[in-house]
Structure 1
Amino acid sequence: MKKYILPLLIGMFPLHAQVGINTTTPNSTLAVNGSLGAGYSQITANSYTILPTDHYITYNGTGNATFTLPVIGTGATSYTGRIYKIKNISTSGITLQASGANTLRIDNTPVASFVIPRGAYAEVVNNSNTTGGTWDLSFTVLPKPSNVEIYGAQLSIPPHGGGSPGVGDWSNHTVTSYDTGTGTDVWWVISKTSTAYAHTSAYSNTSRMTIVYEYQGSPFNVTNMYPILTAGNNSSFPDVFTASFVSLANNGTAGRTRLTVSVARIDFIGSNGSNNSNWTGTFLLNLLLARKY
């Protein structure tokens, strides 16, 4: 009895370059008509070496982390086309670094490491470079993830103490009329100290005021935080002001954040009939806090 094995064996292998899963008409080298699953890992450790079996990695640790990519070799460890997807859902940063002499490539300039900030997503693809080894970085959530936090608020500049009529200076938050904000996002005017203008034939000093504001929410992390101040005028008065930063520290009530600024009127100095440069209106201080981490 003759046995015909060869045709059966040939029938077990595809004779075309396109393979379909759940489809009889594949339109690509591999066509999947359905869902696709791959490896998923959630990491909380501050140091993690990415495995050849990893694919999608989420970081949810409590501090800055370092993720190290596998060493690029040859043959089975060349990893050409290998893709890693990394999502940072923590409040800290991930330093993604290559191994040994391998590099990362953002554009045409190789780098040893790159920081993935909180909320950012990075996709890492191994290219075909076997000399030195290179991983290409592409970003699908943030084109170039920012390493700056920004907070903005609009505060009040109270009337000058020497105005006519003026509003006397105070300390220890004894006057609440000029506080701004809602909920816990509130800034108190703790104190104001007014200095009247001085206008003589030899010199002129502007009317100015030193104001201490206190934030009533959770204290800011003031490390590497830089205030940007601009004075505004939404009234019918002609007054023009400039604001200068004095200090920012968590030295207020129960460790709250306090901001001290100096505000000066610069459109005119002195007295003109019933009007003088000791302002009597309430004006705006636009505050932008930027922290680099």
Structure 2
Amino acid sequence: MKTKNFIPVLVLWGFFLNAQVGIKTNTPNSTLAVAGSLGADYKQISATTYSITATDHYLTYNGTGNATFTLPVIGTGTTSYTGRIYKIKNISTSGITLQASSGNTLRIDNTPVTSFVIPTGAYAEVVNNSNTTGGTWDLSFTVLPKPSNVDIYGVQLLVPPHAGGTAPVADWTNHTVTGYDTGTGTDAWWVISKASTTYAHTSAYSNASRMMLVYEYQGAPFNVTNMYPILTAGNNSSFPDVFTASFVSLANVSGKTRLTVSVSRIDFIGNNTVSGNNSNWTGTFLLNLLLARKLY
């Protein structure tokens, strides 16, 4: 007598009535509930032209040139792909043009497009929808590259009065004057020295009043490799004086970071004997410093 393997009708009936499947759980709370990790296909692409397949899921591009990734052609039945998700990460120094196949489109907003560029360091996710006219692939999620590859530090320093002004402040070296330092503790900047050059106004030429300033940071020295100072001179008083600041040097000296700057007054040169206005300035002004260092 032959023995037949069979599944009780009541069990089958219960399976179809309760269309929820659990993996490592006896109480699935969704159509498919997985009590554990989930793996999907991963592939790293270096070719500059790649046709995304039906079995792909997560793609990483690390090629050496601009690439073009083409999404599968959308069909019907088993090739309708509704709900299929592709994840694409660009770790190269070039761009990826993600394009739909002929006759298909990408839907970023209400206007379908044929392609989308994934820039360096960015990530994109697309999902197929059942819309065959308004965009067959939804660009459902994008992450742009890291906002910056630059480390930035900013501070506002003081520009002391000129040594040749009507109310002069004598030049100094070796931080013998402390009244123009800024900040506190390890975030303090000292004015180590200032050297003033007076104006020269003749029939042949005019030299603006200027000053060489050396500032020293009292905290841990900056890594000055690939560091670029950006300087702007500011006027924080009622005087009409206009200044320009030029970078001279940035270096670590005896465990401290030193910045040397040349500041010049550019709105007026000379001495107006009628008004008593001397272009060797007497006020205390501002120097805005931005240190930007390229990280990679």
Give the fraction of aligned pairs with identical amino acids, expressed as a percent: 65
**In structure 1, what is the Cα distance between the partners aligned to 2:170 and 2:267?**
23
Q: SS where residue 178 of structure 1 aligns?
A: coil
The corresponding residue for 1:255 is: 255
Alignment map for 1:1-293 (pairs within 5 Å):
5-8=7-10, 10-11=12-13, 13-14=15-16, 26=30, 29-30=31-32, 38=37, 70-71=43-44, 80-82=56-58, 98=62, 104-105=89-90, 108-109=96-97, 138-139=142-143, 144-251=146-253, 254-273=254-273, 274-293=276-295
For 1:127 and 1:225, the matched residues in 2 are separated by 43
Separation (CA, whole Å) in 2 of partners of 1:3 and 1:280? 104
- Aligned partners of 2:96 and 2:119 also within 8 Å: no
Matched length = 229
**TM-score computed with the length of structure 2 as normaliser:** 0.63
Distance 1:229 1:9 in 2: 78
Greater Cα offset, 155-164 or 97-106: 97-106
**1:191 and 1:231, CA in 2 relative to 1: closer, same or farther beyond 3 A?**
same
**Structure number with larger C-alpha Rg:** 2
- Measure the CA separation in 1 of the matches of 2:36 and 2:272: 78
SS at match of 1:184: helix
- Structure 2, unaligned stretches of length 5 or more? 46-52, 70-87, 99-116, 129-139
Give the CA deviation at 1:113: 10
8 A contact 1:248–1:257 mirrored in 2: yes
Q: Please list the CA deviations of residues 117-153 of structure 1 after superposition, one character each: whole Å capped at 9, or x if unmatched.
A: xxxxx8676999xxxxxxx9943xx664311111110
Q: Secondary structure at the match of 1:231?
A: strand
Q: Partner of 1:88 in structure 2?
A: none
Q: Distance in 1 between matches of 2:236 and 2:43?
A: 58
3-state SS of paired residue (1:250)? strand
Unaligned runs of 5+ in 1: 40-51, 55-68, 84-95, 116-121, 129-135
User: Cα gap change, 1:37/1:181 in structure 2, threshold over 3 Å: closer, same or farther?
Assistant: farther
Cα distance change, pair 186–3 in 1 and its aligned pair in 2 (3 A)? closer
Checking the alignment, whether the CA contact within 8 Å between 1:225 and 1:292 is kept in structure 2 is yes
- 1:123/1:138 contact within 8 Å kept: yes
